[in-house]
Chains A and B, each alone.
Chain A
């Protein structure tokens, strides 16, 4: 479905089911240079379990028009407009990496609507190397290659994907390559410039699940202290042998942990 925000069409996949604002909603927000397809192992499942699914393509990403923003707070406000326009009354927000930062902001803006928060592959602060930024600025293939290399665990680099026949690192690389020029750079600037006062994290009142990968080189577990210390109702899980792309590397565990967190049996 497309939602018009500020005269730009924003795309959201609904996991194969019609959107219904009367149902509890689950909003998936992707990370830098990605799009909604990274959630295909989760979105379709929850759509078939009674949720209204909104797996967004952020502006300038995937099938969404408009220009990618380099400001997390601005992007969060855009997502908030999507929530208002669709008249969503209650939503679980699931964000990965850049999408997790946007989710944190959203939980503060729409704290009456966001009922649960699921954060994947995030830490505070999130550092972006100068080399990566420089390559992204030049739209160099190396930027996509670095993210693919660093974003997956050693196990994932060997393969044996849960999706039969799909070569995971090749898929991640092609997804990054398909992003429009400048989008990855803009996303990485948004991550780098996000300067959250850690104490404001205490304003997040909803139950929050933090999912980490034991081998995540991009948002290492050692840097989650600020989240751990300041988000009130935080529970966290660490997926062994998993890198930064946990919803792709360990889709069953991620799906199952979200389902369990939302109060029903493990998926």
Chain B
């Protein structure tokens, strides 16, 4: 046990953020399906609205079921707090909106989820926020991309869909030596495989829709605040260290110290933008988090076996999976992902786009859809779906060729997955 908690990871996965209900004895986390909460009186209401005391006011800002998930994720990541959101995209937006306004700049890895890429490339510039992309392996590129108005460095633990491993320890040093926070999208790895805060990151975001939920039944996102970044001495972060008229001159850093970021994200970001998670979705995600370790172990074991199988298949031209020695980031993956590199892998199918289409259509167990991290195995062809709006140059920079197929390996029996892949690969080569 290295953290401050009395309990270890699996115990926290099951218990953190929740005590059995003393009134009813209910053991499971109740779904508090309510929009609002009765005030104890006028004075109580006023003090809640003025952040003089804490409590639930309206479920757009906080909800008891959602709060259980928020505390649980913060505990598992080793953070000080969390805000859950309607989706991973809204978590990303919430972080940006909390940290910066117009005339701001972000340095981001070029290996990003398509949705994040669209927001950075096409949407945020309309609001005066621009991004410089750097290849995740170009460490010096991150240094040289920093500008006087840079507010954030951003990357994914494992890039999507190129599967580049982001060197969190090294890039966090670059960020901190420039008084900048590092935010990491840890969706692919979950806290079971990697704890970016321990590696030097300051903020984590998740699409909890994926492995944390684990069953493909509910959309959601989360931001986790590491509580270590010194917002007070970094001049750039006026949203956190200057008085905010939206709460009668409240200075979040002065008032809340280590939780300044997450308090502002909730009290301004959810209040004003309103991209909250529903209590029923929080309940579904909580069920997934309870079995996170068990599932991630099986996901990783299956993924490694599938990667090894593909490497030896005659119809496959290349395989990318960070736990394979052939992967460019194998050593880095060993260092920062010692328990495994997750369950996403990509490969190039011989015969390019047409063979790729046939392969996907012939699969029986793998489902063709736009998601990852389900307990069931999934497949997609990024160039024609998730990343189709990218130019050929961007696709190349992100490592996406027309032959690339992405698999999200589930927790089925390994032999059944191999049989399905084998027959579909064979069929893909038939004229």
Interface residues of A (CB under 8 A from B): 13, 16, 35, 37, 40-41, 44-45, 48, 62-63, 141, 144-145, 148-149, 154-155, 157-167, 169-175, 177-178, 251-252, 255, 267
Contacts and interface: CB of A to CB of B under 8 A. Distances in A.
Contact of B3 (A145, A161, A162, A252): A145
Contacts of A45: 47, 52-53
A162 B4 contact: no
B331 interface: no
Contact of B71 (A16, A141, A155, A167): A167
A171 to B, nearest CB: 4
Contacts of A166: 71, 74, 80-81, 259, 262-263
B118 interface: no
Given A160-B68, A252-B53, A255-B53, A174 B228 contact: yes
Contacts of A169: 4-6, 75
Q: Which of A35, A37, A63, A165 has the most CB of B within 10 A?
A: A165
12 contacts: A13-B254, A16-B251, A62-B257, A154-B6, A157-B7, A159-B75, A164-B266, A165-B66, A167-B16, A167-B74, A169-B4, A173-B4
B227 A170 contact: yes
Contacts of A158: 15-19
Interface in B37-57: 47, 50-56
Given A16-B249, A169-B6, 4 more contacts: A158-B18, A166-B262, A171-B258, A175-B257
Interface string B244-267: 000111110011111100110010
A41 B53 contact: yes
B131 interface: no
A147 to B, nearest CB: 9
Interface in B279-294: none
A160 B56 CA distance: 13
B169 interface: no
B4 A172 contact: yes
A157 B5 contact: yes
Contact of B75 (A155, A170, A172, A178): A170
A35 B253 CA distance: 12
Contacts of B5: 157, 169-170
Contact of B50 (A48, A160, A165, A172): A48
Contacts of B7: 157
A170 B78 contact: yes
Contact of A40 (B75, B82, B255, B262): B255
B67 interface: yes
A159 B17 contact: yes
A6 to B, nearest CB: 23
B4 A170 contact: yes
Contacts of B248: 16
B89 interface: no
B83 interface: yes
A40 B80 CA distance: 15
A165 B83 contact: yes
Contacts of A154: 6
Nearest to A148: B4
A227 B70 CA distance: 40
A173 B4 CA distance: 6
B329 to A, nearest CB: 29
A170 B255 contact: no
Contacts, number: 149
B79 interface: yes
Interface size class of B (residues with CB under 8 A): 35 or more
B228 A40 contact: no
B56 A164 contact: yes
A37 B67 CA distance: 22
B130 interface: no
A178 B230 CA distance: 9
B141 interface: no
A157 B17 contact: no
Contacts of B78: 170
A237 to B, nearest CB: 19
Contacts of A173: 3-4
Nearest to A38: B257
Given A37-B256, A44-B255, A174 B227 contact: yes
B4 A144 contact: yes
Given A157-B6, A170-B227, A174-B228, A162 B81 contact: no
- A-B pairs, 5 with minimum CB distance: A37-B257, A165-B70, A164-B62, A173-B4, A148-B4
Contacts of B399: none
A48 B4 contact: no
A260 to B, nearest CB: 14
A171 B53 contact: no
Interface in B97-122: none
Name the residue among A155, A161, A163, A255 with the largest chain B CB count within 10 angstroms: A163
B232 interface: yes
Contact of A174 (B53, B62, B72, B258): B258
A262 to B, nearest CB: 15
A1 to B, nearest CB: 10
Contacts of B55: 162, 164
Contacts of B72: 159
Nearest to B226: A174
A251 B72 CA distance: 21
A164 B54 CA distance: 7
A63 to B, nearest CB: 7
A166 B260 CA distance: 11
A63 B75 CA distance: 27
Nearest to B78: A170
Interface string B16-44: 11110000000000000000000000000
Contacts of B50: 44, 48
Contacts of B53: 41, 45, 251-252, 255, 267
